[in-house]
Amino acid sequence: MKDFIIPTSMDDITNDRDMGTPASKSLEMVTLTIDGFEVTVPAGTSVMRASNEAGIEVPKLCATDSLEAFGSCRLCVVEIEGRRGTPASCTTPVAEGMVVNTHTDKIKKIRKGVMELYISDHPLDCLTCAANGDCELQDMAGAVGLRDVRYEGTENHFEVRQNGEVNPKYIPKDDSNPYFAYDPAKCIVCSRCVRACEETQGTFALTIEGSGFNSRVSFGAKSDDALHSDCVSCGACVAACPTATLTEKSVIELGTPERSVITTCAYCGVGCSFKAELNGDEVVRMTPWKHGKANRGHSCVKGRFAYGYASHSDRILSPMIRDSIDQPWREVSYEEAIDFTSKKLRDIQAKHGQKSIGGITSSRCTNEETYLVQKMIRAVFGNNNTDTCARVCHSPTGYGLKTTFGTSAGTQDFDSVEDTDVVIVIGANPTDGHPVFASRLRKRLRQGAELIVIDPRRIDLLETPHMGKGHHLPLRPGTNVAILSAISHVIVTEGLHDEAFIRERCDWDEFSEYAAFISDERHSPEAMQLLTGVDAQALREAARAFARGGNGAIYYGLGVTEHSQGSTTVMAIANLAMMTGNIGRRGVGVNPLRGQNNVQGACDMGSFPHELPGYRHVSDDATRDIFEDLWGVTLDAEPGLRIPNMLDAAVDGTFKGIYIQGEDILQSDPDTHHVAAGLAAMDCVIVQDLFLNETANYAHVFLPGSTFLEKDGTFTNAERRINRVREVMKPKNGYADWQVTMLLANAMGANWTYTHPSQIMDEIAATTPGFANVTYEMLEERGSVQWPCNDNAPDGTPIMHIDGFVRGKGQFIITEYIATDERTGPRFPLLLTTGRILSQYNVGAQTRRTDNVVWHDEDLLEIHPQDAENRGIKDGDFVKLASRQGETSLRATITDRVSPGVVYTTFHHPDTQANVITTDFSDWATNCPEYKVTAVQVSQSNGPTDWQKDYNEQAAQSRRILPAAE
Amino acid sequence: MKIYVPLDSAAKALGADNVADALATAAKEAGKDVEIIRTGTRGMLWLEPLVEVETDAGRTGFGPCLPSDAAAIIEGAANHPKALGLVDDLPWMKRQTRLTFQRVGVIDPLDLADYEAHGGLTGLRNAIAMSPADVVQHVTDSGLRGRGGAGFPTGIKWKTVHDAEAPQKYIVCNADEGDSGTFADRMIMEGDPFTLIEGMIIAGLAVGATKGYIYLRSEYPDAINIINQAIAVAEKAGVLGDDVLGSGRAFHLENRVGAGAYVCGEETSLLNSLEGKRGVVRAKPPLPALEGFLGRPTVVNNVISLATVPVIMEKGAQYYADFGLGRSKGTIPLQIAGNVKFGGLFETAFGLPLGEIVNDLAGGTRSGAPVKAVQVGGPLGAYFAPHQFDTPFGYEEFDGAGGLIGHAGLTIFDDSADMLGMARFAMEFCAVESCGKCTPCRIGAVRGVETIDRIAAGDADAIPLLTDLCDTMKDGSLCALGGFTPYPVMSALTLFPDDFAAQKKAAE
């Protein structure tokens, strides 16, 4: 007999067993005896989980360790000495000295009796069932030794017809959702799906309809099917279902998977861990990995289901070249393409100078790939003309947080939200942009945390079911700094600031100066109300709630950064966190919600023209020495060109060639006309991508990209977590992106010899202090690690600035509100702001090539009923959207989510071309474009604008591909 | 002249309102100054409508009355064929120990002054003068156990809530009296609502709860109406509110109406329903005493348990505990129904043998045929056969005999009863009322009906299957609905095997 069992840790990433109930976080330990074995577990652990810890699996159907115990299936009953009856082990917590028997004759009889009942209402079509071999009901029937079902089962839910009559209890399969099917005939009413929708996702789309034997899982009202219900298709219910009732259509079609690889989602900055499950090299499904520390076993519709683009027929798998963009593409070998490209780039440099070419790294690619691209530009191109798409999203975060705290990154891990008491969400729409984080936040809101949303739109988070108090400050776009100043004004003038924290962690004199500035009456909510449109009293209440509410956390997105005062807003947020003492522990902090999967990593890896990896300025001799020694070259000490500067220089004729890896600047960057003009002026535009994207219309070389499923590497998410990306299948295009970059670099004279991305990571670790201890071996062992990870923080750093700010003292910055130059006027009286929708991702290159289009197949313009009526616009009308820059057209949807005077749209569809409208105003510090404020006019329209027509024509011409020579 | 006419819905169903109208008309015609006071019922349902006339000797009764009897009653005809003499001297009344129901049928249910005149609010005043812990101790010492059926010691439950620390605690009164053949909760709510309110206030003061809810079934419109009015009266009089009887302590009370689900009489389903959720059973633990309404410590007690607290606080714990038998202390309001000569409510100390209740108090069957079975404790209670009639009425005693007392409803059947049909009804009842959460109840009850139908059709193999099914439901169900349905089924099968014999149906 074993007399002591050491519990398996909840973070043991090799243990994928379902422990039945969630782990207890108690520090108090309790020892009990189960079937004669002594086991010690945290207080609050269920008897079921304790049994599992002891290696004794208690049969179960309604329990799963991602959900709170429910106690409905009655299979997990046990006997406990000194207690009456047969309690369910899932709902019974352990007690000191408890003696549990899980397998007595009485228990065995009950279990068999319960299973006999289950099977009496279940079709016996196991051999042809999609869950065959992956069905808990099947497993349990085996586990309890059920050999006979003696009931006649006259009333049942699975027979379509009985004695020639329609069986009124039979409900047909619901195939409406493109990704999963709901087959009520197989349902055992364990409520795992309903609970997953509530507890894990927080949408409450599912319920149990009816009672008793008529209890059926339902997507809301009787008329609702899965697709037309509140369901957001996150897949939590499908993952939770123990039978074939909710099954991925891919499994129904392809069969149960036979192998799996753990990897990281390549959509947003949450960085969810997934188990890619395959048959051969065909992905059967992606299931969220329970040990993923960012997602804790949850997922959204994109990561879970929208991976079909990887095998979409639009994908370009062979390199293509052409001499000019009016020619059709010619498919060539990699050899020819690389030779063509390297010669062209070297020719340009010979003619126009060393600095006449450059490149853009991708926030969609791995750290290793990004590192290589900037290395190629700096060491092989011989200049610092490298930039990245973070330029257009979170560059102000980097600047603002480095200035105030000393580190260009968020301060927390996602787990931190579990301890948050009051949260400010500003300029972010997490339920759509960062859905898995939103679910974790909503869970905390349901537990009573207070929510303050600062956003021009009434975002869905404000409508979280069962949440506590919520505040909405619907500001006029462009007045973020004014709002934050007013909040700080209330806190400082009402004495709600945390003096002890400020004295210890910041410079008191500096704060005093700031306090004098912010206390000025012009920053009062009453004075600011004219500018922001936000009710002064509502703002005061929100400010008090944040200052007094306990652990206060601030989460923000591009609605903060993509403004002419983006950097100022980030610093105002940092001020607010510091003055309320909300830095340096769990539950607090400043948390930028990064847009792309690896935007943090792309910044870390030295993608910016002025910074080498690790945010060290190119003018710093010591840093340059490190890289010069290793790379054997001399590096330029002058910063290179930013993206807008490259385009300007191209128009001026001094910048002629660009290598763009995994970014569609024509669609994603502001002022499309200007981007197009810049690209058209270049002699060699190289696009490396999965598809012929919009930028490729102006390209001379197309290098096929590889998907995240086809390569090894790492992504760094919004919480600085370095997650492994693993090669799930071989690249369909022949090479991983890093290999293609290496081919080009070597063709241009480099002598790189990497054979695996781990060697690139070793080089990153050797040169970059924050990554010093990061190795692939470590990531294998731990799953992930948050930088900084070095000798000072060997386990990584979930929460930053615990004992002091990285820069020493936290710095208060005076944040004067300066209105943007983009103003409304008689011709353009409305303010346009932009955002995302759940089912689509950014420019939509991937999600548009999946069934996600059933939820959103075109961009819509949200307009307030009042503004619509003034213009004679009805819901669904085609409207013209015009700004000082240009005009486009799209359909209108009338909603009071937006205030009068504000219109809103998404930018997922190239047909819409929202960036034809946006201006070239940008952040004063980082050039981050002001996407979020454009003065516009909306008017009735008959259809696409001339620009849209011309554009589509040019695109069609440009996308022609010559048939391969045979 | 004061005349008392019940307003109880059982009496009204038998025409009490018409009788009251007729009395008023007759008084007017006779030119007499008559005050008609509506009261609760005395519980003698075979005498309803029972009209009582105040005399110097006491209240004399006439019943069962028709409107046509009104004139004679007004005239004061003591020798009227329906004259019963002094009501208090009727054997049914004299044999009772009316503690909980002391005022029911006696006072105007909404007359707070009359309530006080009959001992009301004394218990509350005593409780206010004591420490909360002492009140809890007092209730514990009285031996009062949950009258809803589970029989859990009320004082222990209160102590758990008293000892729990929370920003808010609640008292919830379970007035979802769904068992067929039971009506004690209704009668006290209609006849003496203040005693329930007083009991809830005492509970609140004892455990530190400032808010109470009555969860009252929608099928009791009269009780809903009277409770609502009584709450308003109590609020106006300062019995309820921020300052209970000037004590400086608050207790607020709200009446919530159910939506017709039997299972919402189960305390955790009731709490879900009260919170606005689906009325499904919650797993215990957590106990409602620690995580109840809105997740806060909550006393959930039956109407009778709470309505008995005032008399305990009025007359003392020992006074109450001195009644009864063994661990079943105090009194129990028996509700006698079914095929019975004298049906109604009879409050007595625990310990009366079942046979005495059935044959003596109730006078045997109404049909005159021999008693075949008595179902005790509502539709989920076991059947008792005459050979078990020496079982004394007590929690442990009935448990020992394979049954339960439940809410103390007794339904009597004569020898024409088909016990297979009764067993089938029990399964069908469970199937209809199941919340659907746990498998043994959700699927088991439907299979139970099917299996009994097989037995009825002559399939003897189905009998062991029914026995196994009952074991699964009894040991495997989440709450008492599925867990107790086997009581009537198995007791019918065991006590009356002939009714289940295959040849019976086969021969027909």
Mean pLDDT of all residues in A406-435? 94
| Whether pLDDT at A966 is above 50 | no
> pLDDT averaged over chain A?
93
* Chain A residues within an 8 Å CB radius of B284: 91
| Half-sphere exposure for A925 (CA within 13 Å, toward CB) | 19
Say whether A113 and B478 touch across the interface (CB within 8 A).
Answer: no
B284 in reach of chain A (CB within 8 A)? yes
Main-chain phi, psi angles of A818, to 5 degrees: -125, 120
Q: Which of B268, B429, B475 to mutate to test the interface with A (most CBs of A within 10 A)?
A: B475
Q: What are chain B's domains? A: 2-92 (3.40.30.10), 112-321 (3.40.50.11540), 326-414 (3.10.20.600), 419-507 (1.20.1440.230)
pLDDT for res A929: 85
Question: For residues A938 and A863, what is the distance between their CA atoms, to the nearest angstrom?
Answer: 9
In sequence order, which residues have a C-beta less than 8 Å from that of residue B209 and are 6 or more positions away?
Answer: B161, B168, B169, B170, B171, B203, B251, B297, B298, B299
Query: Which pTM was predicted?
Result: 0.93
| Whether pLDDT at B112 is above 50 | yes
Question: For residues A718 and A708, what is the distance between their CA atoms, to the nearest angstrom?
Answer: 18
| Whether pLDDT at B166 is above 50 | yes
B443 in reach of chain A (CB within 8 A)? yes
> CA A878, A882, A886, A891: dihedral to nearest 10 degrees?
-20
Q: For A207-241, give the secondary structure using H, E and C.
A: EEECCHHHCEEECCCCCCCCCCCCCCCCCHHHHHC
List the B35-39 sheet strands across, edge first.
Answer: B35-39, B2-6, B51-55, B58-62, B83-86
> In the block, which residue shows the tokens 């297979």?
B420
* Chain B residues within an 8 Å CB radius of A465: none
B272 in reach of chain A (CB within 8 A)? no
Q: What are chain A's domains? A: 3-103 (3.10.20.740), 161-311 (3.30.70.20), 337-393+599-771 (3.40.50.740), 406-592 (3.40.228.10), 830-957 (2.40.40.20)
- Quickly list DSSP for A908-939: --TTT-GGGT--S-B-TTT--B-TT-EEEEEE
Q: In the 8-state DSSP scheme, what is residue A200?
A: I
Question: For residues A858 and A517, what is the distance between their CA atoms, to the nearest angstrom?
Answer: 46
* Chain A residues within an 8 Å CB radius of B468: 109, 113
Q: How many Å lie between the alpha carbon of A465 and the closest alpha carbon of chain B? A: 13
Say whether B450 and A208 touch across the interface (CB within 8 A).
Answer: no
B465 in reach of chain A (CB within 8 A)? yes
Say whether A155 and B446 touch across the interface (CB within 8 A).
Answer: yes
- Are the C-beta atoms of residues B424 and B453 closer than 8 Å to each other? yes
Q: B405-432 pLDDT, tens per residue? A: 999 999 999 999 999 999 999 999 999 9
Angle at A909 between CA A908 and CA A913, to 5 degrees: 105
Question: For residues B430 and B443, what is the distance between their CA atoms, to the nearest angstrom?
Answer: 10
Q: A896-923 pLDDT, tens per residue? A: 999 999 999 988 887 877 778 888 888 8
Q: In the 8-state DSSP scheme, what is residue A457?
A: B
Q: Which of B470, B472, B473 to mutate to test the interface with A (most CBs of A within 10 A)?
A: B472
CB count, 10 Å around CB of B126?
18
pLDDT for res A213: 97
Query: Which of A535, A397, A393, A524 is CA-nearest to residue A454?
Result: A535
* Chain B residues within an 8 Å CB radius of A207: 278
Q: Which of A70, A113, A120 sits opposite B283 (nearest CB)?
A: A70
Q: A669-705 pLDDT, tens per residue? A: 888 888 999 999 999 999 999 999 999 999 999 999 9
Q: Which of residues 230-289 of A touch B (CB under 8 A)?
A: none
> In the block, which residue shows the tokens 């007499």?
B32
User: ipTM for the complex?
Assistant: 0.94
* Residue B468, Ramachandran bin (φ over 0: left; ψ between -120 and 50: alpha; else beta): alpha
Q: For B435-473, give the secondary structure using H, E and C.
A: CCCCHHHHCHHHHHHHHHHHHHCCCCCHHHHHHHHHHHH
Both tokens of A396, joined, read 């102000």
B475 in reach of chain A (CB within 8 A)? yes
B431 in reach of chain A (CB within 8 A)? yes
Confidence grade of residue A925 (pLDDT, cut at 50, 70, 90)? confident
Question: For residues B283 and B168, what is the distance between their CA atoms, to the nearest angstrom?
Answer: 22
Question: By percentage, how much of chain A surpasses pLDDT 70?
Answer: 99
| Whether pLDDT at B480 is above 70 | yes
Q: Which of A106, A155, A212 sits opposite B436 (nearest CB)?
A: A212
Q: For A238-281, give the secondary structure using H, E and C.
A: HHHCCCCCEEEHHHHHHCCCCEEEEEECCCECCCCEEEEEEECC
Query: Is A916 or A581 the better-scoring residue by pLDDT?
Result: A581
Q: Which of A120, A189, A211, A218 to mutate to test the interface with B (most CBs of B within 10 A)?
A: A211
Pairing of strands A161-162, A165-166: antiparallel
- The enclosing H or E element of B24 equals helix B16-30
B278 in reach of chain A (CB within 8 A)? yes
pLDDT for res A965: 53
Residue of chain B whose alpha carbon sits nearest to that of A61: B439
B29 in reach of chain A (CB within 8 A)? no
| Whether pLDDT at A322 is above 90 | yes
A220 in reach of chain B (CB within 8 A)? no
* Chain A residues within an 8 Å CB radius of B428: none
Confidence grade of residue A1 (pLDDT, cut at 50, 70, 90)? very low
Q: B443-465 pLDDT, tens per residue? A: 999 999 999 999 999 998 899 99
pLDDT for res A11: 58
Task: Count interface pairs A-B at CB distance under 8 A.
Answer: 111
Chain-centroid distance of CA A645 in Å reads: 29
Mean pLDDT of all residues in B49-55? 95
C-alpha pair distances (Å), A45 with each of A22, A49, A127, B495: 8, 6, 37, 44
pLDDT for res A35: 96
* Chain A residues within an 8 Å CB radius of B439: 72-74, 114, 117-118, 188
pLDDT for res A668: 82
Main-chain phi, psi angles of A472, to 5 degrees: -125, 125
SS3 B351: coil
Q: A119-144 pLDDT, tens per residue? A: 999 999 999 999 999 999 999 999 99
| Whether pLDDT at B506 is above 80 | no
pLDDT for res B507: 47
Q: How many Å lie between the alpha carbon of B284 and the closest alpha carbon of chain A? A: 7
Q: How many Å lie between the alpha carbon of A95 and the closest alpha carbon of chain B? A: 13
Say whether A73 and B439 touch across the interface (CB within 8 A).
Answer: yes
Both tokens of A770, joined, read 């924050």
Confidence grade of residue B502 (pLDDT, cut at 50, 70, 90)? low
Q: How many Å lie between the alpha carbon of B283 and the closest alpha carbon of chain A? A: 6
A73 in reach of chain B (CB within 8 A)? yes
Query: Which of A410, A820, A397 is CA-nearest to residue A571?
Result: A397
- Are the C-beta atoms of residues A830 and A903 closer than 8 Å to each other? yes
* Chain B residues within an 8 Å CB radius of A110: 471-472, 475-476
* Chain B residues within an 8 Å CB radius of A210: 436
Q: Which of B436, B437, B475 sits opposite A110 (nearest CB)?
A: B475
Q: In the 8-state DSSP scheme, what is residue A474?
A: -
- The enclosing H or E element of A747 equals helix A737-747
Exposure string of A620-650, with b = 16+ CB inside 10 Å and e = fewer, is eeebbebbeeebeeebbeebbbbbbbbbbbb
- Quickly list DSSP for B110-168: T-HHHHHHTTTTHHHHHHHHS-HHHHHHHHHHHT-B-TTTT--BHHHHHHHHHHS--S-
Question: For residues A818 and A222, what is the distance between their CA atoms, to the nearest angstrom?
Answer: 53
Q: Which of B261, B446, B477 sits opposite A213 (nearest CB)?
A: B446
Q: B226-282 pLDDT, tens per residue? A: 999 999 999 999 999 999 999 999 999 999 999 999 999 999 999 999 999 999 999
Q: Which of A69, A118, A150 sits opposite B439 (nearest CB)?
A: A118
Q: Which of A93, A211, A214 sits opposite B285 (nearest CB)?
A: A93
- Quickly list DSSP for B35-80: EEEEE---SBGGG-S-EEEEETTEEEEE-S--GGGHHHHHHT-TT-
Q: How many Å lie between the alpha carbon of B434 and the closest alpha carbon of chain A? A: 4
Say whether B478 and A155 touch across the interface (CB within 8 A).
Answer: no
